[in-house]
Amino acid sequence: MPHWTELAAEKKQRQLKSIPQEWLVSPPPDSTLDVTGFPETCGLLTAREIEITNTSVDVLLKKLACGEWTAIDVTTAFYKRAIVAHQLVNCLTEIFVDRALARAAELDDHFKQTGKVVGPLHGLPVSLKDQICIKGLETTMGYISWIGRYAEKNAVLVDVLIECGAVPFVRTNLPQTVMWPESFNNIFGRTTNPYNRSLTPGGSSGGEGALVALKGSPLGVGSDIGGSIRIPSAFCGLYSLRPSYGRVPYCGALNSLEGQDSVHSVFGPMTNSVGGVKAFMKAVVNAKPWLKDPLAVRKKWQEDEYNLADHGSGKDLCFAIMWDDGVVVPHPPIRRSLEITKAALEKAGHKGFSRVTPPLNHTHLAIVVDWKPIKHRLLADTTRNIWNAASAEDYMITTSVTGEPIIATMELDSSNVAAAPFRPKKIGITAYQLWQVQKLRGDIRKEYLDHWEATVSETGTGRPVDAIICPASSYAATPHGKNRYTNYTTVWNALDYPAATFPVTTVDPTLDVKKPRHVFYDDFDKGIYDMYDPETFKNAPICLQLVGRTLEEEAIVKMTEIVDGALAAAK
């Protein structure tokens, strides 16, 4: 068998050949950190293609549904912009232009002949993380050992998206093993953040984050087992949703830790508008995925839940703000974004528990309280213990086929480190030990449920808190290799609470100055504090999370729309 480096080089060459030569541009030098403006000034996109790629998902779908724009037009525009994005931030893995355009042409023919759309996502290009199998394409998931393995059938989600009329058109980069909050592997290399290329786009769905941020895709699908949708969305300024287990079908996709069925990985949307999140979720769950995936939950889109039937029909909503998780205090820009959001909600509604008649044009009165986190450190540690029960063995067996090194760090010089294979201290635990960890997690889930229910005494609405608003990370996008703390997202995976991200602002060195702190939770918290220098994080987007209860995706989408509207009105 060829050496792993030769296999990787050959795969990378095939990827280069799949890019249409006429779409190659001269990217700016590496010293240009913010490349978000480049796609529109590089000269490759026409004025109409720029207009198409700047259009939100719901408007795109309307224009496609009335025939104003064709699927070919829209797919071509996004494909060109995706290829430009790739040349800027290295975000793509599989590129299959002819195949995507053939699919778009089929949709246009159907529309021409019938005057009808194929489904609710008719003509919409959708990018997919490199775990989601498409028949006839390789899915490497960042493993050299999986080069040359061509999928014999689509993942269920791909079949569902096709049935809904979508156009799968590119696949995107991730880290080897998908168990990192950054995006680097030995085949495709490192993805960078378009707002500041010295920073990470996050991970593991970092290719999606960077691509969607550059508007090279109107809607991407990421996966999330500990934050892998929300971290890149937060680092790249996107709206996203980590749904509950089983709401979006996973069957037929590749993954690490397959067979670990306690803390499930889930697929969810990443996009530039909250309307895009809604369009994806509504289309996918209404396609009855439970008829194709035995683990998919039998629950269609519930319009009454979207209209907040379980939350006072949206009157007197009570949001709880979690300022920190009791483990790590967030950096100043994160704190400022929480303050901005609280002020926007209080302007839309009213602070504390006082309830004043809202202005006539405003139906949503917001009450804002503080959230007291319980056992977040233990929840996240327990989740990692479940993953680590056999993760080392999983990675070693997978990489043993080619002898490629298991990547041990996401640091910039990881090419040197990669040569020294990752050697875990301990291989796995017994089944009985694993059961004890899973039992502990179950006990904490019950405790957290009771804790949430008990907030009914604080809200003044007769209901417990409607949703939690909290950081998606303790910091904005970090320099490469420095994203070391993911508990702000991982706890919600442990509890199986759906969580959306929404953008608030960007790091501003004049507003986000480093303030002295004298009290720390521990040395790790101090280390995160010491990391902060406003100039390093300059221009990085800041998003927050909105968290609800298990299988409450509809309500989460609606409440995210309400918060987003309050932020827009406050601006």
CA dist., res. 490 & res. 204, Å (int) = 13
Mean pLDDT by 10 residues, the chain (571 residues): 97 98 98 98 98 98 98 98 99 98 98 98 99 98 98 98 98 98 98 98 98 99 98 98 98 97 98 98 98 98 98 95 98 98 88 34 71 98 96 96 95 55 62 97 98 96 97 98 97 98 98 96 98 96 98 98 97 89
Residue 494, Ramachandran bin (φ over 0: left; ψ between -120 and 50: alpha; else beta):
alpha
State pTM to two decimals: 0.96
Q: Is 217 a catalytic residue?
A: no
Catalytic-role residue among 127, 183, 217, 228:
228
Residue position matching structure tokens 């975000």: 91
pLDDT of residue 364: 56
CB count, 10 Å around CB of 403?
A: 12
Residue 464 makes CB contacts below 8 A (sequence gap 6+) with: 452, 453, 454, 455, 456
Catalytic-role residue among 127, 183, 204, 265:
204
pLDDT of residue 420: 37
SS3 169: strand
CA 485 to chain centre: 16
* Tens digit of each residue's pLDDT (9 = 90 or more) over 420-441: 334 455 668 899 999 999 999 9
CA dist., res. 467 & res. 45, Å (int) = 41
11, 187 contact by CB (below 8 A): yes
pLDDT of residue 498: 99
pLDDT of residue 569: 95
Cis peptide before 204 (omega within 30 of 0): yes
Q: Is 347 a catalytic residue?
A: no
Select from 251, 268, 362 the least CA-distant residue to 314.
Answer: 362
187, 178 contact by CB (below 8 A): no
pLDDT of residue 362: 45
225, 388 contact by CB (below 8 A): no
Catalytic-role residue among 11, 80, 127, 129:
129
pLDDT of residue 428: 81
Q: What angle (nearest 5°) sits at the alpha carbon of residue 382, between those of residues 378 and 386? A: 175
Q: Is 145 a catalytic residue?
A: no
